[in-house]
Structure 1
Amino acid sequence: MKLNSYKKILIIIVSRIGDTLLTTPAIKSIASHYGDAEITVLGHPKRYKVLQYLPFVHCTGSISKNSAFCKGRFGKIYDLAFVYGYDESLVLYALRVSKRTIAFKQGNSKIDDRLYKSVEFPTSKSMHFVDILMSLPKAINISATSKRLSLFLTKKDRIFAENILIENNLNNKTLVGIQAVGFPTKSYRDWPIEYFSELCTKMINKNPNVHFLIYGGCDKKEKKKISWLFDSLMGHATSLIGMPLRETAAVMSKTHLYIGVNTGPTHIMSTFDIPMIVLNHCLLKNSVYGAIGHPHYFSIDHPNDKKCSEDSTMSDISVKTVFEVVDSVLKSL
């Protein structure tokens, strides 16, 4: 089969929000390379919606390692498939439905030998994750067209966000989004919640028109932290805790500034040309996970770069350091 004869292409990415969005440069590059191809992307049931309506994707849907086992029993409907991750059931599904499949080497010769391209996962600790995920299309000489992450908001999404602002009388406020918590199981990445409260208080004292939108999920530990932050800012904050992904993204697009730790919603925010300040743990370096091509991206990295571990506390980043950056950005708005 000639490369230009790929007319139906499948891409599978079952992962967290951040990793899902970090594949969008690869997806866009594949779509650009095969301009006439129909691109289908399958993602995690709770996260695939961040990929909906992308102009270079024709169809999106959900799949999981459990549901994949029962799918694809009716022949090969795709010409080419790319599979991210190491769930064998997802790779086997792609092998059932696609004439050719490209994936990272699975460590199982019975599967790897069936792949059109079995790609070694890059081991460089300094390689940006966008470039790591580009390794699959690069295996067949597809170059990156852009390294900027992508998300597309519909008219319905934008109207939803506008209504949120109207309902909460926020249209005349300087809106600052706050993502104070990342993965509950990796809390060492989080800046102390008390520091966020102190920072926000300083911002209010400097500019009483500032209003905070508090983002967050429904995990009990996460919710407890961010609910405390919301309560400490009573009258100056609106809680968006538990709001679905697309709706949260839509509201994010209406803000003036974002401050957060490096986590999934931060990657969502990086798809908009809105100033953002990101606090990075030394195990989650900006050079590896930071936004590429964003016009107003400010990274504050943990000072302990040489002897970094999970014991390196984010409290080493002072409120003063962050406030100086925040103050400079707000003055430029």
Structure 2
Amino acid sequence: MEPSSILVIYVTRIGDTMLVTPAVRALAQAWPKARIDFFGSRTSAAVFRHLPFVSRVGVLTKKRIRFKGWLQRKSYDLALVYGFDGDGPFVEYALRVSRQVIAFKQRKESLNQKLLASIDKTTIRCSNSVDYLFSLIAPLGIPKAGLHLSYVISESERQWAVARLAALRDGGAGPIVGLQIASFPTKGYRDWPVENFVELCRRIRSEHPKAHFLILGGKREWKRTRALHVSLSGCSTHYAGRLSLRQTAALMGQLDLYIGVDTGPTHIMGALHRPMVALYHPSSPSRALAPLEHPCCHVVDHPLADRGATEHTPMAGITVDAVWEKVRAALSGEFPPPLVTPWTP
């Protein structure tokens, strides 16, 4: 089987989208002449924009997809549907537009019987989320093309970010440190206390008096991010809720250091191969979610990681001292060897 056209569907959040990029890259390496299209949510599509191994990026919604693909011929040789959408509208769409479809096992057995392969998620055994998402392409028998995440900042985006920070750089500010202090609302238990970020920034300034902090995030984190900005008066810029996803990523590409909790932008930073320190809740430790093959990443795990913690376990269990140790090393250019986990298709 050598498909000439492949469709990948993944309607999900930023972080999960980033984690699937190594699998899509493997498809492109295995079949370099194939056209690969990616359809997902608006945020998923934004993540995949400009990736060199994807031909076209589109947006799908569960509401509109039921009306798509009925009148067109099957335009893809192979489709892969990530995620589990309950009643299966994305799988049904894939079956309408593709000759063969691979998906995670669906609730409707009638759908599973139409698939080239259906992967039972309950049988997957792997240590990292990237490995988990590779499991969907395992039936194809293709080799991996690395485990690192992929994200591309366009040249115009890079120039915009450089210009945005020019006044800070020209004024002698540095290091410029990005702060992602909050996860998305349903994962608020991953948030490290604001007062801990304040103390951490004060320690950074004690050794780097010209350090400047870019406070990142979305509109929903406004109260937390604004409180941090007020506490860091005169040495921070409050960008939370003011930038698009891709603008935020472009700024992140210019940082001297990024410090963040486990959330979408942290996964994007994991693809940029810039110095970073990432904090992980014990219910989702670094072994599962930290960026693989990253040359300059420090991870900070909760003391109760893999020790029976629940979502109610507070992130305050990660001390300022523990994070400061990693930040200090990162600002000195000291990093551990890249994380790598084995995977065999």
The one-letter code of the counterpart of 1:75 is R
Match of 1:29 among 26, 29, 50: 26
CA change 1:121–1:303 in 2 (3 A) is same
> Which residue pairs with 2:41 in the alignment?
44
2-side partners of 1:152 and 1:186: how far apart?
26
1:19-57 Cα deviation digits (max 9, x unpaired): 001000000001111111000001102331110111111
Query: What residue is the counterpart of 1:8 in the other structure?
Result: 5
Give, as a single letter, the amino acid of the residue that structure 1 aligns with 2:121: F
Matches of 2:39 and 2:171, distance apart in 1: 37
TM-score (norm 1): 0.95
Contact 2:21 2:149 in 1 (8 A): yes
Residue 218 of structure 1: how far off its partner (Å)? 1.1
Partner of 1:111: 111
Contact residue 213 and residue 237 of structure 1 kept, 8 A: yes
Is this contact kept in 2: 1:165–1:171, CA < 8 A? no
CA contact (8 A) 1:10 1:80 kept: yes
The C-alpha deviation readout for 1:142-197, integer Å capped at 9, x for no partner, is 22111100001111111110121125556742111100000212211111111001
Other-structure match for 1:82: 80
| 1:85, distance to aligned residue in structure 2 (A) | 1.0
Q: Which residue number corresponds to residue 138 of structure 2?
A: 138
* Distance (Å, rounded) in 2 between the aligned partners of 1:324 and 1:184: 28
Alignment-mate amino acid for residue 230 of structure 2: D
1:107-130: CA deviations, max 9, x gaps?
211111111111111555752110
Is 2:330 the partner of 1:329?
yes
Amino acid at match of 1:217: G
CA–CA separation in structure 2 for the residues paired with 1:256 and 1:113: 51
Q: Is the 8 A contact 2:124 2:135 kept in 1?
A: no
Partner-residue secondary structure (3-state), 2:36: strand
Once the two structures are overlaid, the 10-residue window that deviates more, 52-61 or 122-131, is 122-131
In 1, distance between residues paired with 2:171 and 2:280? 31
Corresponding position of 2:151: 151
CA distance in 1, matches of 2:248, 2:171: 17
Which amino acid in the other structure matches residue 38 of structure 2? V
What is aligned with 1:310? 311
Matching of residue 70 in structure 1 with residue 71 in structure 2: no
Runs of 4+ in structure 1 deviating by more than 6 angstroms, as ranges, are none
Q: Distance in 2 between matches of 1:72 and 1:171?
A: 55
SS class of match (1:66): helix
Contact 1:189 1:280 in 2 (8 A): yes
Task: Give 1:331 deviation, angstroms.
Answer: 2.2
* TM-score under structure 2 length normalisation: 0.92
Taking the aligned partners of 1:137 and 1:170, their CA distance within structure 2 comes to 48
Does the 8 Å CA contact 1:126/1:287 hold for their aligned counterparts? Answer: no
Distance in 2 between residues matched to 1:9 and 1:171, nearest whole Å = 49
**Once structures 1 and 2 are overlaid, which stretch shifts more, 174-183 or 316-325?**
316-325
Gap runs ≥5 in structure 1: none
Task: Look up the match of 1:241.
Answer: 240
Q: Deviations over 1:245-284 (max 9, x none)?
A: 1111111000011111111100000111211111111111
CA shift in 2, pair 1:179/1:117, >3 Å: same
Rounded Cα–Cα distance in structure 2 between residues aligned with 1:130 and 1:200: 32
2:149 maps to amino acid: L
Q: Distance in 2 between matches of 1:225 and 1:125?
A: 37
Aligned partners of 1:79 and 1:47: how far apart in 2?
22
Q: Counterpart in 1 of 2:266?
A: 266
1:320 corresponds to: 321
Secondary structure in 2 aligned to 1:332? coil
Alpha-carbon distance change, 79 to 171 in structure 1, aligned in 2, over 3 angstroms = farther
User: What's the C-alpha RMSD, in Å, of the aligned pairs?
Assistant: 1.5
Contact 1:148 1:291 (8 Å CA) reproduced: yes
Where 2:304 maps in the other structure, the secondary structure is coil
Contact 2:298–2:330 (8 Å) recurs in 1? no
- After superposition, the Cα gap between the structure-2 partners of 1:53 and 1:200, relative to the gap in structure 1 and judged at 3 Å, is same
